[in-house]
């Protein structure tokens, strides 16, 4: 199920900020050369991420799930001058490609890109975070959420991607992945420590603000 038809998607792109050239290049190469290219954030979602980050003006961002680095660079656009984004991914095969993209960007010195298991790396981090973006294996969304929660500053944002799962969250039949996402959404809805809403952007962004 597509949340928006192609005409509306094109219309939305006309009324947001242009896509930077490096991000166009990453999107194009991801679609041509990388498995599961649909995972890339893309123009419209990328501009949503960029604008949210510029509103928060974070010093420290944590991203769980780098993929080809598109969203990483969108988040980096809103960092303060001495800010940093730590981005974690388990896929070693994409490392050289992604490091190359980061090296071409204006934010290379603000990006700390690490390959490894996020469940093992996050507990070793000493930073507290103004923003966290969770966009990795969906079965672990709730585990990642609990893992990072105490490292998020009061007033900070946790953003979780793919929480509408192509509309399957309202389907009558649920597969295992869909059930995991519904369970995560239900748990966040009950969490009184946060304010929350789902933006129907692309595949659904859960915007969660720690009180």
Among 143, 135, 139, 89, CA closest to 116: 89
Q: Which CATH architecture has domain 6-210?
A: 3-Layer(aba) Sandwich (3.40)
Domain residue spans of the chain: 6-210
pLDDT over 70, % of the chain:
99
Handedness of CA 76, 78, 83, 86 (dihedral sign): negative
User: What's the whole-number average pLDDT of the chain?
Assistant: 96
Q: State pTM to two decimals.
A: 0.96
The mean per-residue pLDDT over the stretch 169-188 comes to: 90
- pLDDT at residue 172 greater than cutoff 80: no
Q: What is the pLDDT of residues 153-166, one digit of tens each?
A: 999 999 999 999 99
- pLDDT at residue 1 greater than cutoff 70: no
CA 113 to CA 98: how far, in whole Å? 9
Confidence of residue 171 (pLDDT cuts 50, 70, 90): confident
167 exposure class (CB count in 10 Å sphere: 0-12, 13-18, 19+): middle
């Amino acid at each position: 199920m597509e949340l928006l038809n192609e005409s509306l998607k094109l219309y939305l792109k006309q009324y947001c900020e242009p896509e930077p050239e490096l991000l166009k290049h990453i999107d194009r190469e991801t679609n041509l050369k990388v498995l599961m290219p649909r995972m890339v954030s893309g123009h419209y979602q990328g501009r949503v991420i960029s604008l949210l980050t510029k509103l928060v003006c974070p010093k420290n961002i944590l991203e769980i799930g780098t993929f080809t680095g598109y969203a990483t660079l969108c988040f980096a656009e809103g960092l303060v001058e001495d800010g940093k984004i730590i981005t974690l991914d388990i896929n070693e095969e994409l490392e050289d490609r992604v490091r190359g993209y980061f090296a071409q960007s204006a934010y290379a010195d603000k990006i700390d890109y690490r390959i490894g298991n996020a469940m093992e790396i996050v507990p070793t981090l000493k930073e507290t975070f103004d923003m966290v973006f969770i966009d990795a294996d969906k079965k672990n969304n709730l585990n990642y959420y609990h893992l990072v929660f105490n490292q998020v500053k009061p007033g900070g944002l946790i953003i979780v991607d793919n929480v509408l799962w192509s509309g399957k969250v309202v389907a009558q039949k649920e597969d295992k992945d869909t059930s995991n996402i519904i369970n995560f959404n239900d748990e966040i809805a009950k969490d009184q420590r946060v304010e929350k809403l789902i933006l129907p952007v692309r595949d659904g962004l859960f915007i969660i603000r720690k009180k």
